[in-house]
Structure 1
Protein backbone atom coordinates (compact mmCIF):
# COMPACT_ATOMS: atom_id res chain seq x y z
CA UNK A 1 0.00 0.00 0.00
CA UNK A 2 1.58 3.34 -1.04
CA UNK A 3 2.46 5.73 1.74
CA UNK A 4 1.11 9.31 1.94
CA UNK A 5 4.54 10.67 1.04
CA UNK A 6 4.72 8.49 -2.06
CA UNK A 7 1.28 9.68 -3.17
CA UNK A 8 2.26 13.34 -2.82
CA UNK A 9 5.47 12.71 -4.74
CA UNK A 10 3.48 11.01 -7.51
CA UNK A 11 1.10 13.97 -7.78
CA UNK A 12 4.03 16.38 -8.02
CA UNK A 13 5.64 14.27 -10.74
CA UNK A 14 2.39 14.21 -12.67
CA UNK A 15 2.09 18.00 -12.50
CA UNK A 16 5.72 18.60 -13.57
CA UNK A 17 5.31 17.84 -17.32
CA UNK A 18 2.35 20.23 -17.49
CA UNK A 19 4.33 23.00 -15.79
CA UNK A 20 7.25 22.44 -18.14
CA UNK A 21 4.98 22.59 -21.18
CA UNK A 22 3.45 25.83 -19.91
CA UNK A 23 6.89 27.37 -19.31
CA UNK A 24 7.98 26.30 -22.80
CA UNK A 25 4.84 27.83 -24.29
CA UNK A 26 5.34 31.15 -22.48
CA UNK A 27 8.99 31.19 -23.48
CA UNK A 28 8.06 30.57 -27.10
CA UNK A 29 5.53 33.41 -27.09
CA UNK A 30 8.12 35.82 -25.71
CA UNK A 31 10.73 34.63 -28.23
CA UNK A 32 8.35 35.09 -31.16
CA UNK A 33 7.32 38.53 -29.91
CA UNK A 34 10.97 39.55 -29.54
CA UNK A 35 11.85 38.35 -33.03
CA UNK A 36 8.82 40.16 -34.47
CA UNK A 37 9.95 43.37 -32.77
CA UNK A 38 13.44 43.05 -34.27
CA UNK A 39 11.94 42.49 -37.72
CA UNK A 40 9.86 45.64 -37.25
CA UNK A 41 12.93 47.68 -36.29
CA UNK A 42 14.89 46.26 -39.25
CA UNK A 43 12.12 47.03 -41.76
CA UNK A 44 11.59 50.53 -40.37
CA UNK A 45 15.29 51.39 -40.63
CA UNK A 46 15.50 49.97 -44.17
CA UNK A 47 12.59 52.21 -45.17
CA UNK A 48 14.52 55.27 -43.97
CA UNK A 49 16.82 54.92 -46.93
CA UNK A 50 13.92 56.38 -48.93
CA UNK A 51 11.73 58.35 -46.50
CA UNK A 52 12.47 60.59 -43.51
CA UNK A 53 11.35 59.60 -39.98
CA UNK A 54 8.40 61.71 -38.87
CA UNK A 55 8.84 61.25 -35.13
CA UNK A 56 10.83 59.31 -32.54
CA UNK A 57 10.08 57.47 -29.30
CA UNK A 58 11.53 60.41 -27.34
CA UNK A 59 9.34 62.91 -29.23
CA UNK A 60 6.17 60.91 -28.63
CA UNK A 61 6.96 60.50 -24.93
CA UNK A 62 7.67 64.21 -24.52
CA UNK A 63 4.53 65.21 -26.39
CA UNK A 64 2.42 63.03 -24.10
CA UNK A 65 4.11 64.14 -20.86
CA UNK A 66 4.56 67.84 -21.58
CA UNK A 67 1.18 68.08 -23.26
CA UNK A 68 -0.66 66.53 -20.31
CA UNK A 69 -0.84 69.85 -18.48
CA UNK A 70 -0.75 72.09 -21.55
CA UNK A 71 -3.59 71.45 -24.01
CA UNK A 72 -2.53 72.12 -27.57
CA UNK A 73 1.15 71.58 -26.82
CA UNK A 74 3.20 70.24 -29.73
CA UNK A 75 6.84 69.30 -30.21
CA UNK A 76 9.07 71.86 -31.95
CA UNK A 77 10.56 69.95 -34.87
CA UNK A 78 11.25 70.63 -38.53
CA UNK A 79 13.14 68.30 -40.83
CA UNK A 80 15.79 69.89 -43.05
CA UNK A 81 18.10 68.13 -45.55
CA UNK A 82 21.68 67.37 -44.57
CA UNK A 83 23.01 70.08 -46.89
CA UNK A 84 20.94 72.73 -45.10
CA UNK A 85 22.61 72.14 -41.73
CA UNK A 86 25.71 74.16 -40.89
CA UNK A 87 29.02 72.37 -41.16
CA UNK A 88 29.86 74.16 -37.91
CA UNK A 89 27.17 72.16 -36.12
CA UNK A 90 28.19 68.88 -37.75
CA UNK A 91 31.81 69.38 -36.74
CA UNK A 92 30.89 70.49 -33.22
CA UNK A 93 28.73 67.43 -32.57
CA UNK A 94 31.33 65.00 -33.84
CA UNK A 95 34.03 66.76 -31.78
CA UNK A 96 31.84 66.62 -28.69
CA UNK A 97 29.98 63.32 -28.97
CA UNK A 98 31.88 60.86 -31.16
CA UNK A 99 35.25 61.93 -32.57
CA UNK A 100 35.69 58.64 -34.46
CA UNK A 101 32.14 58.56 -35.88
CA UNK A 102 33.21 58.31 -39.53
CA UNK A 103 35.52 55.35 -38.94
CA UNK A 104 33.87 53.30 -36.20
CA UNK A 105 31.23 50.60 -36.76
CA UNK A 106 28.76 52.18 -34.37
CA UNK A 107 30.52 51.04 -31.21
CA UNK A 108 33.51 52.22 -29.22
CA UNK A 109 34.57 49.23 -27.15
CA UNK A 110 36.89 51.22 -24.90
CA UNK A 111 34.14 53.72 -24.08
CA UNK A 112 31.69 50.90 -23.30
CA UNK A 113 34.22 49.21 -20.98
CA UNK A 114 35.00 52.50 -19.24
CA UNK A 115 31.28 53.09 -18.73
CA UNK A 116 30.92 49.55 -17.34
CA UNK A 117 33.65 50.16 -14.77
CA UNK A 118 32.18 53.54 -13.82
CA UNK A 119 28.73 51.98 -13.35
CA UNK A 120 30.15 49.21 -11.17
CA UNK A 121 31.86 51.77 -8.94
CA UNK A 122 28.63 53.75 -8.55
CA UNK A 123 26.42 50.68 -8.18
CA UNK A 124 24.03 51.96 -10.85
CA UNK A 125 24.05 52.98 -14.50
CA UNK A 126 25.37 56.53 -14.81
CA UNK A 127 27.23 56.28 -18.14
CA UNK A 128 26.59 54.41 -21.37
CA UNK A 129 29.64 55.10 -23.53
CA UNK A 130 27.33 55.75 -26.47
CA UNK A 131 28.39 56.70 -29.98
CA UNK A 132 26.24 58.89 -32.25
CA UNK A 133 24.73 55.75 -33.79
CA UNK A 134 23.87 54.34 -30.36
CA UNK A 135 22.30 57.61 -29.29
CA UNK A 136 20.21 57.59 -32.46
CA UNK A 137 19.09 54.01 -31.83
CA UNK A 138 17.91 55.00 -28.36
CA UNK A 139 16.18 58.20 -29.46
CA UNK A 140 14.34 56.55 -32.33
CA UNK A 141 12.92 53.47 -30.64
CA UNK A 142 13.65 53.20 -26.92
CA UNK A 143 13.04 54.97 -23.62
CA UNK A 144 15.15 57.12 -21.32
CA UNK A 145 15.21 54.32 -18.75
CA UNK A 146 18.74 53.16 -17.94
CA UNK A 147 19.07 49.38 -17.80
CA UNK A 148 21.29 46.70 -19.25
CA UNK A 149 18.31 45.18 -21.08
CA UNK A 150 17.68 48.49 -22.85
CA UNK A 151 21.40 48.80 -23.56
CA UNK A 152 21.39 45.38 -25.19
CA UNK A 153 18.48 46.34 -27.44
CA UNK A 154 20.25 49.61 -28.24
CA UNK A 155 23.31 47.69 -29.45
CA UNK A 156 21.16 45.50 -31.72
CA UNK A 157 19.44 48.52 -33.27
CA UNK A 158 22.82 50.22 -33.68
CA UNK A 159 24.01 47.23 -35.71
CA UNK A 160 20.91 47.55 -37.90
CA UNK A 161 21.53 51.26 -38.46
CA UNK A 162 25.16 50.68 -39.40
CA UNK A 163 24.23 47.77 -41.68
CA UNK A 164 21.34 49.38 -43.54
CA UNK A 165 22.31 53.08 -43.71
CA UNK A 166 25.48 54.91 -44.67
CA UNK A 167 27.18 57.26 -42.23
CA UNK A 168 25.88 60.44 -43.83
CA UNK A 169 22.27 59.21 -43.63
CA UNK A 170 22.73 58.15 -40.00
CA UNK A 171 24.11 61.59 -39.18
CA UNK A 172 21.33 63.35 -41.11
CA UNK A 173 18.65 61.50 -39.16
CA UNK A 174 20.50 62.16 -35.89
CA UNK A 175 20.78 65.90 -36.57
CA UNK A 176 17.06 66.06 -37.31
CA UNK A 177 15.84 63.99 -34.39
CA UNK A 178 18.14 64.58 -31.41
CA UNK A 179 16.64 66.30 -28.36
CA UNK A 180 17.79 69.88 -27.71
CA UNK A 181 15.58 71.13 -24.88
CA UNK A 182 12.08 71.04 -23.47
CA UNK A 183 10.10 69.77 -26.45
CA UNK A 184 12.78 70.92 -28.92
CA UNK A 185 14.03 68.36 -31.44
CA UNK A 186 16.39 68.62 -34.38
CA UNK A 187 18.90 71.19 -35.57
CA UNK A 188 16.42 73.52 -37.28
CA UNK A 189 14.13 73.80 -34.27
CA UNK A 190 17.12 74.27 -31.93
CA UNK A 191 18.61 77.03 -34.09
CA UNK A 192 15.32 78.94 -34.08
CA UNK A 193 14.61 78.27 -30.40
CA UNK A 194 17.99 79.39 -29.03
CA UNK A 195 19.31 81.82 -31.62
CA UNK A 196 16.44 82.93 -33.86
CA UNK A 197 18.21 81.67 -36.97
CA UNK A 198 18.24 78.63 -39.25
CA UNK A 199 20.37 75.51 -38.88
CA UNK A 200 22.24 76.55 -42.03
CA UNK A 201 23.42 79.84 -40.48
CA UNK A 202 24.70 78.68 -37.10
CA UNK A 203 28.08 80.18 -36.21
CA UNK A 204 30.94 78.13 -34.80
CA UNK A 205 30.29 79.42 -31.27
CA UNK A 206 26.55 78.78 -31.44
CA UNK A 207 27.19 75.30 -32.80
CA UNK A 208 29.67 74.51 -30.04
CA UNK A 209 27.18 75.51 -27.35
CA UNK A 210 24.43 73.40 -28.93
CA UNK A 211 26.76 70.41 -29.13
CA UNK A 212 27.66 70.68 -25.44
CA UNK A 213 23.96 70.68 -24.51
CA UNK A 214 23.27 67.26 -26.00
CA UNK A 215 23.95 64.97 -23.03
CA UNK A 216 21.60 67.04 -20.80
CA UNK A 217 19.42 69.14 -23.12
CA UNK A 218 16.57 69.85 -20.69
CA UNK A 219 18.99 70.85 -17.94
CA UNK A 220 20.89 73.28 -20.16
CA UNK A 221 17.64 74.65 -21.58
CA UNK A 222 16.89 75.74 -18.01
CA UNK A 223 20.53 76.72 -17.21
CA UNK A 224 21.70 78.56 -20.30
CA UNK A 225 24.16 80.67 -18.33
CA UNK A 226 25.91 77.66 -16.82
CA UNK A 227 29.70 78.31 -16.50
CA UNK A 228 30.32 74.70 -17.54
CA UNK A 229 28.38 75.24 -20.76
CA UNK A 230 30.54 78.21 -21.73
CA UNK A 231 33.81 76.53 -20.71
CA UNK A 232 33.06 73.27 -22.48
CA UNK A 233 31.84 75.10 -25.61
CA UNK A 234 35.22 76.85 -25.80
CA UNK A 235 36.97 73.48 -25.73
CA UNK A 236 34.72 72.06 -28.45
CA UNK A 237 35.18 75.16 -30.62
CA UNK A 238 38.93 74.52 -30.59
CA UNK A 239 38.46 70.88 -31.60
CA UNK A 240 35.98 71.45 -34.42
CA UNK A 241 38.60 71.99 -37.11
CA UNK A 242 39.88 68.41 -36.70
CA UNK A 243 36.44 66.77 -36.87
CA UNK A 244 35.97 64.51 -39.90
CA UNK A 245 32.54 64.66 -41.56
CA UNK A 246 30.85 61.76 -43.37
CA UNK A 247 30.40 62.06 -47.12
Structure 2
Protein backbone atom coordinates (compact mmCIF):
# COMPACT_ATOMS: atom_id res chain seq x y z
CA UNK A 1 0.00 0.00 0.00
CA UNK A 2 2.84 2.36 0.84
CA UNK A 3 4.54 1.60 -2.48
CA UNK A 4 1.34 2.37 -4.40
CA UNK A 5 0.91 5.64 -2.52
CA UNK A 6 4.51 6.62 -3.29
CA UNK A 7 4.02 5.93 -7.00
CA UNK A 8 0.79 7.95 -7.08
CA UNK A 9 2.49 10.79 -5.23
CA UNK A 10 5.33 10.83 -7.76
CA UNK A 11 2.86 10.82 -10.66
CA UNK A 12 0.94 13.69 -9.08
CA UNK A 13 4.03 15.83 -8.65
CA UNK A 14 5.24 14.97 -12.15
CA UNK A 15 1.92 16.14 -13.57
CA UNK A 16 2.08 19.30 -11.46
CA UNK A 17 5.55 20.09 -12.78
CA UNK A 18 4.38 19.51 -16.35
CA UNK A 19 1.43 21.84 -15.78
CA UNK A 20 3.67 24.55 -14.33
CA UNK A 21 6.11 24.20 -17.22
CA UNK A 22 3.25 24.41 -19.72
CA UNK A 23 1.85 27.61 -18.25
CA UNK A 24 5.31 29.18 -18.00
CA UNK A 25 5.80 28.43 -21.71
CA UNK A 26 2.36 29.87 -22.56
CA UNK A 27 3.07 33.03 -20.54
CA UNK A 28 6.44 33.44 -22.22
CA UNK A 29 4.99 33.11 -25.71
CA UNK A 30 2.17 35.52 -24.91
CA UNK A 31 4.71 38.08 -23.74
CA UNK A 32 6.66 37.75 -27.00
CA UNK A 33 3.55 37.66 -29.18
CA UNK A 34 2.13 40.76 -27.52
CA UNK A 35 4.33 42.83 -29.86
CA UNK A 36 5.83 40.36 -32.34
CA UNK A 37 4.14 38.66 -35.33
CA UNK A 38 2.70 35.20 -34.71
CA UNK A 39 3.75 32.84 -37.49
CA UNK A 40 2.98 29.53 -35.84
CA UNK A 41 0.27 27.85 -33.79
CA UNK A 42 -0.63 24.41 -32.51
CA UNK A 43 -3.07 23.99 -35.41
CA UNK A 44 -0.32 24.86 -37.90
CA UNK A 45 2.09 22.45 -36.20
CA UNK A 46 -0.51 19.67 -36.32
CA UNK A 47 -1.11 20.35 -40.00
CA UNK A 48 2.59 20.12 -40.78
CA UNK A 49 2.97 16.93 -38.74
CA UNK A 50 0.15 15.47 -40.81
CA UNK A 51 2.23 16.04 -43.91
CA UNK A 52 0.58 19.22 -45.14
CA UNK A 53 2.03 22.57 -46.16
CA UNK A 54 1.13 25.78 -44.35
CA UNK A 55 0.87 29.25 -45.85
CA UNK A 56 0.50 32.22 -43.50
CA UNK A 57 1.56 35.85 -43.57
CA UNK A 58 1.14 38.11 -40.57
CA UNK A 59 -0.52 41.50 -41.06
CA UNK A 60 -1.10 44.18 -38.45
CA UNK A 61 -4.51 45.47 -37.36
CA UNK A 62 -4.48 48.51 -39.66
CA UNK A 63 -3.68 46.31 -42.68
CA UNK A 64 -6.86 44.26 -42.27
CA UNK A 65 -10.00 45.62 -43.90
CA UNK A 66 -12.51 47.10 -41.49
CA UNK A 67 -15.18 44.87 -43.02
CA UNK A 68 -13.20 41.72 -42.11
CA UNK A 69 -12.95 42.81 -38.48
CA UNK A 70 -16.64 43.68 -38.41
CA UNK A 71 -17.58 40.33 -39.96
CA UNK A 72 -15.51 38.38 -37.43
CA UNK A 73 -17.15 40.13 -34.49
CA UNK A 74 -20.77 39.85 -35.63
CA UNK A 75 -20.27 36.22 -36.66
CA UNK A 76 -18.10 34.86 -33.87
CA UNK A 77 -18.43 37.11 -30.82
CA UNK A 78 -20.86 40.04 -30.86
CA UNK A 79 -19.93 41.13 -27.29
CA UNK A 80 -16.19 40.90 -27.94
CA UNK A 81 -15.24 44.38 -26.72
CA UNK A 82 -17.33 44.23 -23.54
CA UNK A 83 -16.55 40.81 -22.01
CA UNK A 84 -13.35 39.56 -20.38
CA UNK A 85 -12.94 36.38 -22.38
CA UNK A 86 -16.21 34.63 -21.61
CA UNK A 87 -19.64 35.60 -22.88
CA UNK A 88 -21.93 34.22 -20.19
CA UNK A 89 -25.08 35.16 -22.12
CA UNK A 90 -23.70 33.39 -25.17
CA UNK A 91 -22.81 30.29 -23.16
CA UNK A 92 -26.31 30.17 -21.67
CA UNK A 93 -27.89 30.55 -25.10
CA UNK A 94 -25.67 27.79 -26.51
CA UNK A 95 -26.62 25.45 -23.66
CA UNK A 96 -30.33 26.03 -24.29
CA UNK A 97 -29.86 25.45 -28.02
CA UNK A 98 -27.96 22.22 -27.36
CA UNK A 99 -30.64 21.00 -24.94
CA UNK A 100 -33.33 21.71 -27.50
CA UNK A 101 -31.40 19.97 -30.27
CA UNK A 102 -30.36 17.04 -28.09
CA UNK A 103 -26.78 17.40 -29.28
CA UNK A 104 -23.91 19.89 -29.34
CA UNK A 105 -25.34 22.30 -31.92
CA UNK A 106 -23.72 25.47 -30.57
CA UNK A 107 -20.51 26.18 -28.70
CA UNK A 108 -20.70 29.69 -27.32
CA UNK A 109 -16.93 30.18 -27.54
CA UNK A 110 -15.64 33.74 -27.75
CA UNK A 111 -12.94 34.97 -30.11
CA UNK A 112 -10.45 34.85 -27.22
CA UNK A 113 -11.37 31.24 -26.40
CA UNK A 114 -11.01 30.25 -30.05
CA UNK A 115 -7.64 31.99 -30.19
CA UNK A 116 -6.46 30.14 -27.06
CA UNK A 117 -7.41 26.85 -28.68
CA UNK A 118 -5.82 27.68 -32.03
CA UNK A 119 -2.53 28.85 -30.53
CA UNK A 120 -1.90 26.25 -27.85
CA UNK A 121 -4.34 23.32 -28.04
CA UNK A 122 -6.04 20.98 -30.51
CA UNK A 123 -9.54 20.49 -31.86
CA UNK A 124 -9.99 17.37 -29.70
CA UNK A 125 -12.93 17.88 -27.34
CA UNK A 126 -12.55 16.98 -23.68
CA UNK A 127 -13.08 18.52 -20.26
CA UNK A 128 -9.30 18.77 -19.82
CA UNK A 129 -8.96 20.74 -23.05
CA UNK A 130 -11.83 23.04 -22.08
CA UNK A 131 -10.16 23.64 -18.72
CA UNK A 132 -6.86 24.50 -20.38
CA UNK A 133 -8.67 26.69 -22.90
CA UNK A 134 -10.41 28.60 -20.10
CA UNK A 135 -7.19 29.23 -18.18
CA UNK A 136 -5.30 30.36 -21.29
CA UNK A 137 -8.22 32.63 -22.19
CA UNK A 138 -7.83 34.37 -18.82
CA UNK A 139 -4.10 34.78 -19.47
CA UNK A 140 -4.64 36.25 -22.95
CA UNK A 141 -7.25 38.71 -21.71
CA UNK A 142 -4.96 39.75 -18.87
CA UNK A 143 -1.87 40.26 -21.03
CA UNK A 144 -3.23 41.57 -24.34
CA UNK A 145 -5.69 44.30 -25.31
CA UNK A 146 -8.71 43.60 -27.50
CA UNK A 147 -7.10 44.99 -30.63
CA UNK A 148 -4.19 42.55 -30.30
CA UNK A 149 -6.54 39.63 -29.63
CA UNK A 150 -8.62 40.33 -32.75
CA UNK A 151 -5.48 40.84 -34.84
CA UNK A 152 -4.00 37.53 -33.69
CA UNK A 153 -7.28 35.68 -34.21
CA UNK A 154 -7.59 36.81 -37.82
CA UNK A 155 -3.93 36.01 -38.47
CA UNK A 156 -4.00 32.40 -37.23
CA UNK A 157 -7.53 31.28 -38.14
CA UNK A 158 -7.75 28.50 -40.74
CA UNK A 159 -9.45 29.43 -44.04
CA UNK A 160 -8.79 26.26 -46.02
CA UNK A 161 -6.42 23.32 -46.33
CA UNK A 162 -3.16 24.80 -45.03
CA UNK A 163 -4.40 28.36 -45.55
CA UNK A 164 -3.96 30.30 -42.31
CA UNK A 165 -4.62 33.95 -41.67
CA UNK A 166 -6.77 36.58 -43.36
CA UNK A 167 -3.91 37.81 -45.58
CA UNK A 168 -3.28 34.45 -47.25
CA UNK A 169 -7.03 33.81 -47.47
CA UNK A 170 -7.57 37.13 -49.26
CA UNK A 171 -4.77 36.32 -51.71
CA UNK A 172 -5.89 32.73 -52.29
CA UNK A 173 -9.60 33.39 -52.84
CA UNK A 174 -9.62 36.94 -54.23
CA UNK A 175 -6.07 37.68 -55.37
CA UNK A 176 -5.79 40.77 -53.18
CA UNK A 177 -4.34 41.73 -49.77
CA UNK A 178 -6.51 41.64 -46.64
CA UNK A 179 -6.54 45.44 -46.56
CA UNK A 180 -8.48 45.54 -49.85
CA UNK A 181 -11.29 43.09 -48.98
CA UNK A 182 -14.79 44.42 -49.55
CA UNK A 183 -17.90 43.63 -47.49
CA UNK A 184 -19.00 40.65 -49.63
CA UNK A 185 -15.54 39.08 -49.57
CA UNK A 186 -15.01 39.63 -45.85
CA UNK A 187 -18.38 38.13 -44.98
CA UNK A 188 -17.69 35.10 -47.17
CA UNK A 189 -14.26 34.41 -45.67
CA UNK A 190 -15.53 34.67 -42.10
CA UNK A 191 -18.48 32.42 -43.01
CA UNK A 192 -15.97 29.71 -43.92
CA UNK A 193 -14.45 29.47 -40.45
CA UNK A 194 -16.87 26.80 -39.20
CA UNK A 195 -15.65 24.27 -41.80
CA UNK A 196 -12.89 25.85 -43.91
CA UNK A 197 -11.53 22.73 -45.62
CA UNK A 198 -14.98 21.74 -46.81
CA UNK A 199 -16.03 25.21 -47.91
CA UNK A 200 -12.77 25.73 -49.80
CA UNK A 201 -14.06 23.16 -52.29
CA UNK A 202 -17.73 24.13 -51.97
CA UNK A 203 -17.82 27.91 -52.23
CA UNK A 204 -21.38 27.92 -53.59
CA UNK A 205 -22.74 25.90 -50.66
CA UNK A 206 -26.19 27.22 -49.67
CA UNK A 207 -25.45 27.25 -45.93
CA UNK A 208 -22.22 29.15 -46.52
CA UNK A 209 -23.91 31.74 -48.72
CA UNK A 210 -26.81 32.14 -46.32
CA UNK A 211 -24.40 32.82 -43.48
CA UNK A 212 -22.59 35.33 -45.67
CA UNK A 213 -25.84 37.24 -46.20
CA UNK A 214 -26.64 37.19 -42.47
CA UNK A 215 -23.18 38.55 -41.60
CA UNK A 216 -23.53 41.32 -44.18
CA UNK A 217 -26.87 42.40 -42.73
CA UNK A 218 -25.41 42.57 -39.23
CA UNK A 219 -22.00 43.99 -40.07
CA UNK A 220 -22.93 47.58 -39.23
CA UNK A 221 -23.69 46.48 -35.65
CA UNK A 222 -20.10 45.45 -34.91
CA UNK A 223 -18.23 47.41 -32.25
CA UNK A 224 -14.52 47.38 -33.05
CA UNK A 225 -11.71 47.67 -30.47
Q: Which bracket does the TM-score occupy, shorter chain normalised?
A: over 0.9
Q: Contact 2:39/2:56 (CA < 8 Å) preserved in 1?
A: no
Structure-1 residue corresponding to 2:132: 153
Question: Which entry has the higher C-alpha Rg, 1 or 2?
Answer: 1
Structure 2 residue 208 is matched with structure 1 residue 229:
yes
Q: Secondary structure, in 3 states, of the residue corresponding to 1:190?
A: helix
Structure-2 residue corresponding to 1:23: 8
Q: How far apart in 2 are the matches of 1:46 and 1:123?
A: 41
- Comparing 95-104 with 20-29, which one deviates more in the overlay? 20-29
Structure 2 residue 33 is matched with structure 1 residue 54:
no
- Comparing 154-163 with 226-235, which one deviates more in the overlay? 226-235
Counterpart among 81, 105, 108 of residue 102 in structure 1: 81
Counterpart among 79, 85, 91 of residue 58 in structure 2: 79
Q: How far apart in 1 are the matches of 2:212 and 2:105?
A: 22
Q: Secondary structure, in 3 states, of the residue corresponding to 1:214?
A: helix
Q: Secondary structure, in 3 states, of the residue corresponding to 2:171?
A: helix
Runs of at least 4 residues off by over 6 Å? 120-124
Q: How far apart in 1 are the matches of 2:104 and 2:14?
A: 30
Unaligned runs of 5+ in 1: 1-15, 68-73
User: How far off is 1:113 after superposition?
Assistant: 3.7
Counterpart among 208, 224, 233 of residue 187 in structure 2: 208
- Give the direction of change, closer, same or farther, for the CA distance of 1:51–1:151 in structure 2 (3 Å limit): same
Q: Give per-residue Cα distances to partners, 1:200-235, cap 9 Å, x unaligned.
A: 110101111111111111121121110111121111
Structure-1 residue corresponding to 2:25: 40
Unaligned runs of 5+ in 2: none
* RMSD of aligned Cα (Å): 1.8
Length, aligned pairs only: 225
Q: Contact 1:105/1:162 (CA < 8 Å) preserved in 2?
A: yes
Q: How far apart in 2 are the matches of 1:114 and 1:234?
A: 22
Q: How far apart in 2 are the matches of 1:21 and 1:58?
A: 37
Counterpart among 133, 145, 153 of residue 166 in structure 1: 145
- Give the direction of change, closer, same or farther, for the CA distance of 1:126–1:143 in structure 2 (3 Å limit): farther
- Give the direction of change, closer, same or farther, for the CA distance of 1:239–1:121 in structure 2 (3 Å limit): closer
- The equivalences for 1:155-194 within 5 A come to 155-194=134-173
Q: How far apart in 2 are the matches of 1:115 and 1:128?
A: 6
